[in-house]
Structure 1
Amino acid sequence: MLKLVISFGIFTACFIEIFSVQRTEFFNFYPEMTNLVPGHRFVFEREQMSLVRCVTFCVLSQDCAAVFRKSSSSVCQGFGNPFLFESRNEISNGTWHVKSVSDSCSIGGYIWNPIIRICYKYHSIRTSIFVAKSTCLSEKAHLLLLTTERIHNFAVNVMETQSSGSLYVQGSRDSISSSVYQDDHGRQMSNLAWSEGEPSMDGTFLRLNTEYHRLEATPGSTGRRFICQRGQL
């Protein structure tokens, strides 16, 4: 009987410790990736698993840094570092819970901004947009995508604090005669903050100018600074 009590006490202590790890190291919810999963294989998959068990299983599994729990079937999938996903995302109803977001983001000098919730790295070397895009891809990232006013203001703040001059940002079009810009995933971009008279026929890429902090079309050949962003959808 004494051995049973001791064993139960050890089991309880271990469970409390595991649950404590889950509560402190995982965000309860990572909305930026809701209903999207990467197109590569998961670390593990379990059916009919509660969120607590799903996250705890990830804590105990090697190479698991995030879980995706499907809404309809309660299927739990474990994945590696979500900030290093390279494959295109696929649609699947469910929610993400990510382990130690700031630590997962910070590999290779990247910074997690908890206010606007982006993982980024500022590059001070002036390059063409082609080199900038290639640099970001080599770091498993993309050029900064101005999807919200808060991210736009963040980019402006970087320009001012770093005295960077204009920045290359994500977005391109098929030809200089087209007014439709797309992001790196081929999705049409809307509500872009254009400078007056833009988009001009100057080029097929985008830069954020210094005078009015608005977007302008550019051929991308001039050396400019840029920001890479990980974990984009």
Structure 2
Amino acid sequence: MRVVIAGGHGKIALLTERYLADRGDTAVGLIRNPDQVDDLRAAGATPALCDLERADVDDVAAHLHDADAVVFAAGAGPGSGAARKDTVDRAAAALLADAATRAGVHRYLLVSSMGVDKPPAAGTDDVWAAYLRAKRAAEDDLRARDLAWTVLRPGRLTDDEPTGHVTLTAHAGRGAISRADVALVLAALLDEPRTAGATLELVGGPTPIGDAVRAATT
């Protein structure tokens, strides 16, 4: 399987790339900073320079030929303002979907966030509110497309070691999840096409990941 991951230098992306490489798949990470090339190679991934805030659909589609799936794991990141939450977390996700359609790649996994179902509460930090709105807009855009999409909404992210056990369901409730377990779930979702059309919340839990993904098929 050849998988192209947007936001290829993010923590979840690097872990996913390593898991995919270890099992014999090809992971291609889209990055904008050439200084990150060695980190991707160390994770077993193929780096591809592509700034999703500046590229057009043809630029991105050129990196997707022969791919079996794309994963959007990009984010504006800590310290970015509200404007970049929109240009990365929403617009870049839509651009990747446009490019996937152009390149004939049907499978699309979107890493979103819990808490996007309701408008941000009064008093919410402006940047966090912009992030939630951007993630919700990216989800809504993806659902309207003729792609085999799956939306994954992790809970509070940690850098703990993976447990291999999770709760994965439409409504998981509040909780934490290690980035390593998120990456393992993404790899498992890529193997289960019957999760297409599902929006799944993810937190730590008692169920082995393989069983949790099989139970989440639609």
- TM-score interval, smaller chain: under 0.3
In the superposition, the TM-score normalised over structure 2's length comes to: 0.27
In the superposition, the TM-score normalised over structure 1's length comes to: 0.26
Structure with more of its chain in helix, by fraction: 2
